[in-house]
Structure 1
Amino acid sequence: MLSGRFLLTCLVFVSFTHLQAQGDLPSDFLSKEFHKERREQLRRKLPKNSVAVFFANPVRNRANDVDFIYHQDPNFYYLTGYKEPDAVLLIFKDNQTAANSKTYNEIIFVQPRDAMREMWTGRRLGDKGVMDQLGFEQSFNNGEFKKYNVDFSKFDQVLFYDFFNDTRDNPADSSDLYNLIEQFKVKVNYPSKDQLTVSREQRKNNLNMTGLDGYMRELRGVKTEEELEFIRKAVLVSCQGQIEVMKALKPGMSEREIQGIHEFVFKKYQAEDVGYPSIVGAGHNGCILHYIENYKPEVSSKELILMDLGAEYRGYTADITRTIPVSGKFSADQKAIYDIVLNAQEAAMKKAKPGVSFAELNQITKQVVNKGLKDLGIIKSENENHLYYPHGCCHHIGLDVHDKGMRDALQENMTFTIEPGIYIPENSDCDPRWWGISVRIEDDFRITKNGNEHLSSYAPRTTDDIEATMKLPSPLDNFVLPELKGKK
């Protein structure tokens, strides 16, 4: 009797809080009309007599019984707006006929409402919620997918992303992502990787595990006005983080503390998360391109600090890097390297317009960097191979920090970065005076009809503007925590 009453209490509690909480959550997400239109755009691109299949991201385990905060697969979110795990989406090129003679061209299977689980891990939409809030006409609980009777062999192509075998099986849930994938494999006669064959030719089938990415790159690479609004917000929040750190930075701070200021600003402006692991590297740590330990206990007044961080707002991320002097003033050598990188970035900014490729912009920045390094005597020839600038200068931004998009020709409303850099680690083959200097300047842009819009211009970028900003008072100047004196 007690368990029955407890379950009834759970049901009432979850139903009440689910309804009550709708007003407690942000409401400015992408509209259901946006996602529906994106599905329609994909449908138009699909080959004749085909179906595209998308799976939600798996839940990732951190350790023991603790999972990482869930992050939806960007393609799945882009097409649905659904932010929960254990789901599968099918988009058909042509109308299909259900058993009740009703026609449909898309169907989604999602995790069901569950009073007990929602008490532990949060609210769920369920199949009815997906219909009401996300605008799907055909929405079912994921337990129905196994019984879903569609003959995949009738299609010329079944398009999906291949699997990485990184999904855990939850023995208590027969409809989790692991089982959805296994059920799908049976339905489409997915070839076993370890299956032996005596045939010289691979068995022909209608499975296409490469073509879907090209369509998604075309779609996601060019942003809509709704998307641009969120990207602009993410960029402005990230710029403000850079400004607040410039004002607050002092010798003796730790890299973690500096990271914390950035990320506090993000949260203050209601950004849900960082778009990627924050990079805060002082001195030679800045020479590690993706340095995410941020573990140096004290930064020195003799060092530069490279800060590559981006806020994620409503799923869309910025990507901004500033390199500033811990002392508040660039030394002559630091300024010399910095200005080469700045000149390289500005040269690419002037050329960025529709029709230009990332490769062209990258080449422009490399020419400026190589000439500058030669003039300083760091390299002997502008054609010398070196690792002082080891990466490309551009990538798309959006739902991913390295977002999907075409790289061969920029188009209006593409959003992307320009991020040249110079990194001179200890023991490099040059005068030791340059050792430990690392500079990257990264800004975000939108391609316009005839040029580009500099989205992140709000964050100080020249050495004069950075030094001037670092002289400004900070709200954190008087924020001093007491020494810890816990009882022994």
Structure 2
Amino acid sequence: MKLSITTLFTCLFSILIFAQDGNPTDYLSSDFHKSRRDAFREKMPENSVAVLFANPIRNRANDVDYVYHQDPNFYYLTGFKEPHAVLVIFSEEQTSPEGNSYKDILYVQEKNARMELYNGRRLGVEGAKKELGFDMVFFGTEFKNSGIDYSAFDKVMFFDFENDYRDSKRNPADLYSLVETFKQQVNYNETSFPNPIKERAYEMIKTTNTENSDNLIKDLGRAIQYYPELKEDKIISEYVNTTDNKTRIELKQQVIKIEAETPRSNLDIKTLSTIMGALRQIKTPEEMVLLTKAIRISAMGQREIMKAMHPGMSETEIQGVHEYVYKKYGSEYEGYPSIVGAGNNACVLHYIDNSKMHVENDLVLMDLGAEYHGYTADVTRTIPANGKFTKEQKLIYDLVYKAQEAGIAAAVVGNPHNATDTVGRDIITQGLLELGIIKTAEESRKYFPHGTSHYIGLDVHDAGLYGAFEPNMVITVEPGIYIPKGSDCDEKWWGIGVRIEDDILITEDGPVNLSAEAPRTSEEIEKLMKEKSALDDFVLPNLD
């Protein structure tokens, strides 16, 4: 019997669906995502609409793409994992020409048996309705004729476009086409928007209370290093350099006046990030199940490498042990590129080459996080490759540990977000002075150059507003000291880089260390490193 091409694809597609059975059952439910859309809607301005786009597919090389990862905001509100999609949320109930009421619309890619054979199942319209709980779902090709009159809304909210997507030419409803359609529908003009970096800086100045301005000044100071155009702005520059609160208040009023006098369209590229930050910084019980699992998996990776570590290992082999543990526990991905730096490599904050062939007797800094069903951990441990800290290594390590303990203790409801940094930085500064590594307190930032805390969740640097701590926020506490070769101190300290990072849940009863299963004290680490590893007998043939 001869099979037609259509019949063949249908049979193969049925086999593909069968092969995908047995998937995990602990994903977030459609009810969760619906509740998040409802919570989002409660924060929307009256008579507004929000339009969110799926993440682009990103090319790795030639005809090979990177593994697709959905935009976290899009996933948070939909649970949809496919590309080439649009979500439209309305602040008030809408009525279709047929008389049906709705509050949101999802546009998805069309089903295509051939493409699904190669790249996996697509939900399509009916699948999205059934599995995601949407009432109004259309194919992306229908977005052009949505009939939405954006001019009728006081605000049309969206994230500004990064233009990091390709035009596939052959797909009339790829992300490129969807974005271009939207731009035409709302009369989008890039020149009509102020510099978004400057706008964000102004927004921070406008919304930050005077008593929290010291923390804002630090943030703006770091931003100026990355975005020199901010330094050219008189208001921002003066705000950073003044120590007078009265002047800061006056500058804040100038920002408010400028915004009031600037002609505005109904296009809004700022409010969406504020709404999403307010929602995502507070974790729900359903989220905490997944985030806690990601964190515990990451802690188990740290434990196993402590037992398996020896001087002959390479940085990439150490990375592989962590990531193997992640896979054994069902983690789909790493939450970010794994950092494994031995010796002087540990002094590069985001070192991801992981190319040193033998870690020898160095300290090894390991900053890695498992991603489980979209939620990522962020756990760092620094351990001696030979199982024993030297005198100098231990002095630096114990100083960082002391700073971290103080930082964790400061992660309490009501404290400002920079409380963890303030107490930890004071301890490290005093310690470096006592050890003779620095001569003045101002030099401390040279060896501790980064902040101490950020949110984690669907992003490793998760969305949030960075205000006072509230219950059910999850943050990192990660002080560090990095003394690269050639530093202006005694050579005995050179090449020592230490960071200790844990994931902390803020509760009414105080901070909870979710990654505590991975030993933190120098004594506990040395003790665990003496234990036998399950990998000790895993020896591969020599390929030389």
Which bracket does the TM-score occupy, shorter chain normalised? over 0.9
8 Å contact kept, 2:49–2:156: yes
For 1:55, the aligned partner's letter is F
Q: Whole-Å Cα distance in 1 between the matches of residues 5 and 508 of structure 2?
A: 62
Q: Residue 311 in 1 paired to residue 309 in 2?
A: no
Determine the structure 2 residue equivalent to 1:279: 339
Q: Whole-Å Cα distance in 2 between the matches of residues 61 and 382 of structure 1?
A: 46
1:181 to 170, 179, 192: 179
- Mark the runs of 5 or more structure 1 residues left unpaired by the alignment: 196-200
Q: Whole-Å Cα distance in 2 between the matches of residues 53 and 468 of structure 1?
A: 54
Determine the structure 2 residue equivalent to 1:377: 436
1:418 to 477, 484, 490: 477
Q: Residue 268 in 1 paired to residue 307 in 2?
A: no
Q: Whole-Å Cα distance in 2 between the matches of residues 76 and 372 of structure 1?
A: 45
Report how many aligned residue pairs link the two structures: 477
SS in 1 for 2:382: strand
Determine the structure 1 residue equivalent to 2:68: 70
Q: Residue 356 in 1 paired to residue 354 in 2?
A: no
1:52 to 46, 50, 53: 50
Determine the structure 1 residue equivalent to 2:507: 448
The list of structure 1 runs, each at least 4 consecutive aligned residues, that deviate by more than 4 angstroms after superposition, is none
Determine the structure 2 residue equivalent to 1:198: none
Determine the structure 1 residue equivalent to 2:225: none
Q: Residue 338 in 1 paired to residue 397 in 2?
A: yes
Q: Whole-Å Cα distance in 1 between the matches of residues 521 and 169 of structure 2?
A: 57
SS in 1 for 2:145: coil
Determine the structure 1 residue equivalent to 2:462: 403
Q: Whole-Å Cα distance in 2 between the matches of residues 140 and 190 of structure 1?
A: 23
8 Å contact kept, 2:430–2:441: yes
Determine the structure 2 residue equivalent to 1:479: 538
Determine the structure 2 residue equivalent to 1:157: 155
Determine the structure 2 residue equivalent to 1:39: 37
1:121 to 119, 122, 137: 119
Q: Whole-Å Cα distance in 2 between the matches of residues 77 and 260 of structure 1?
A: 28
Q: Whole-Å Cα distance in 1 between the matches of residues 19 and 145 of structure 2?
A: 33
Q: Percent identity?
A: 53
Aligned residues: CA RMSD: 1.6
Determine the structure 2 residue equivalent to 1:469: 528
For 1:50, the aligned partner's letter is S
For 2:438, the aligned partner's letter is I
8 Å contact kept, 2:16–2:120: no
Give CA deviations for 1:392-426 in whole Å, capped at 9, x if unaligned.
Answer: 00000000000011212111000010000000000
Q: Residue 205 in 1 paired to residue 265 in 2?
A: yes
- Mark the runs of 5 or more structure 2 residues left unpaired by the alignment: 194-260
Instruction: Assess, with a 3 A threshold, how the Cα gap between structure 1 residues 372 and 385 changes in structure 2: closer, same or farther.
Output: closer
Determine the structure 1 residue equivalent to 2:303: 243
Instruction: Assess, with a 3 A threshold, how the Cα gap between structure 1 residues 105 and 458 changes in structure 2: closer, same or farther.
Output: same
Determine the structure 1 residue equivalent to 2:244: none
For 1:161, the aligned partner's letter is F
Determine the structure 1 residue equivalent to 2:5: 6
More helix by percentage: 2
Give CA deviations for 1:273-298 in whole Å, capped at 9, x if unaligned.
Answer: 00000000000000000000000011
TM normalised by structure 2 equals 0.86
Give CA deviations for 1:43-78 in whole Å, capped at 9, x if unaligned.
Answer: 000000000110000000001100000000000000
Q: Whole-Å Cα distance in 1 between the matches of residues 45 and 169 of structure 2?
A: 38
SS in 2 for 1:145: helix
TM normalised by structure 1 equals 0.95
Determine the structure 2 residue equivalent to 1:133: 131
Determine the structure 1 residue equivalent to 2:380: 321
CA-CA distance at 1:219 after TM superposition = 0.2
For 1:121, the aligned partner's letter is N
Give CA deviations for 1:137-189 in whole Å, capped at 9, x if unaligned.
Answer: 00111111111111100000000000011110001101000000000011111
Give CA deviations for 1:216-259 in whole Å, capped at 9, x if unaligned.
Answer: 00000000001000111001110110011010111111101010
For 1:263, the aligned partner's letter is E
Instruction: Assess, with a 3 A threshold, how the Cα gap between structure 1 residues 386 and 78 changes in structure 2: closer, same or farther.
Output: closer
Give CA deviations for 1:9-40 in whole Å, capped at 9, x if unaligned.
Answer: 1023314533x345321121001000000000
Determine the structure 2 residue equivalent to 1:292: 352
SS in 1 for 2:446: coil
